[in-house]
Amino acid sequence: MKRIVIILLVSLLVSDAFAQKQSPVINEDNSVTFNVYAPNAKEVLLKGSFAEKRFEIRTKIGAFGKDRKYELEKDGDWWSYTTKALTSELYTYNFVIDGVDSLDAQNPNKVRDVDTYFSYFIIPGYPGSMYTTQNVAHGEIAKVWYPSNLNGMKQRRMSVYLPAEYATNPKKHYPVLYLLHGSGGDENAWPEFGKAQEIMDNMIADGRIEPMIVVMPNGIVTLDAAPGESPYMTAVPTANNVSSMMGKIEKVFVDEVVKYVDENYRTTKDKAHRAIAGLSLGGLQTIYISANNPDEFDYIGLFSAQTTNTLENETISKIKKVFKKVADIKEFFGHKSDPDGIGGIDTYKDFDTKLKAQFDANPKLYYIAVGVDDFVKSLNDDYRAKLDEAGYKYYYHETDGSHSWENWRKYLLDFLPRLFK
């Protein structure tokens, strides 16, 4: 009996000791302490979005350098490290235990970017608290399959945010923001890494923005849904999505996505109540969706947008000839070629003419945001020079930082209050 009591006491002490080692711990000064239980490890390192760069080099196309990794100190079976005080933000991190990347087993919060998962934490304040679930009315995000003929598919998936009041105001119609992700993303990118629902709920509750529907479709041509969430496809995510830069998404976007949303939700079906914005690849798609449909969107947002300054008509013709030869070779050897070919690339033709028509239609907001260390900064500078030369009005928001979710979430926070005025 005495032995059982001793074992129980020891177990309780061990459990209590384990429970006291939480991770991460946000301290009063906003420094953060990480704790890892790794009794047999020889080395534990910490890497994260808060890490400083080593040997940083600044160039015209961005800042480059290797992110620093921090060594954890061993104390018994535990390893620990405390950062300096951090500013308010959502930070991602992973441990490297004896050379192997590992999530924080103590932290249930994780997020995927392309094919990599990260643990994360949020330092409160602004903007960090905007990314947390607060005591406000909550909207909901539905995963919706819609009919599509894109790339030989029958359907594709989108995420749709409905504000909390949507269900309680059955006669009210709402404006719509179409929010596009970047290369390597999918319909889960903005809801998960972008914290779109938390941002929308908190900003609506604060009275800073009008309640609206937010549609976040999958913009990757070769995938119908997020990896592992499609009953039809097994492709893995990749950051290299050249096929999604050939105009196919742009070509069908209004007919497939906008039409479906207008038919299935209580939207206000006019240009003044539609906005479209996208980051990186999604910014490229936003440029051409809006330019090809000048009467559909009054608010356009480009967040660290890729721009196709080199895709002039002559370049497009050359690309089409190359792809035609490839398709002919495939057919000769009995292989089925891409059902859409590269027909979507014509969406990029006559861009200057289309851009003039778009600005002649007087969009209420043409918003461009980019970080000074972003590798697409020079492309955005070239694009703005084109707009300036033509006398087209736009709003430019330049920030610090690079091609990162830290910036894209902030751009969304800045963009939303400018909509539907």
- Count of Cβ atoms closer than 10 Å to residue 388 Cβ: 11
Q: What's the pLDDT at 63?
A: 56
Q: What's the pLDDT at 169?
A: 95
Rg over CA atoms, the chain: 24
Amino acid at 137: A
Q: What's the pLDDT at 339?
A: 45
pTM of the model: 0.88
Q: What's the pLDDT at 152?
A: 82
Decide if 21 contacts 106 (C-beta within 8 A).
yes
Q: pLDDT averaged over the chain?
A: 88
Task: Give the separation between CA 415 and CA 397, rounded to whole angstroms.
Answer: 10
Angle at 279 between CA 273 and CA 285, to 5 degrees: 70
Decide if 146 contacts 155 (C-beta within 8 A).
yes
Task: Give the separation between CA 218 and CA 157, rounded to whole angstroms.
Answer: 6
Q: Which regions in the chain score pLDDT beneath 50?
A: 1-19, 326, 332, 339-342
- For the record, the structure tokens of 347 come out as 């969406």
Task: Give the separation between CA 323 and CA 81, rounded to whole angstroms.
Answer: 53
Q: What share of the chain is helix, strand, coil (3-state, %, to 5)?
A: 35, 25, 40
Phi/psi region, residue 161 (left: phi>0; alpha: psi -120 to 50; beta: rest), is: beta
150, with CB counted inside 10 A (0-12, 13-18, 19+), is buried
- For the record, the structure tokens of 318 come out as 């050359």
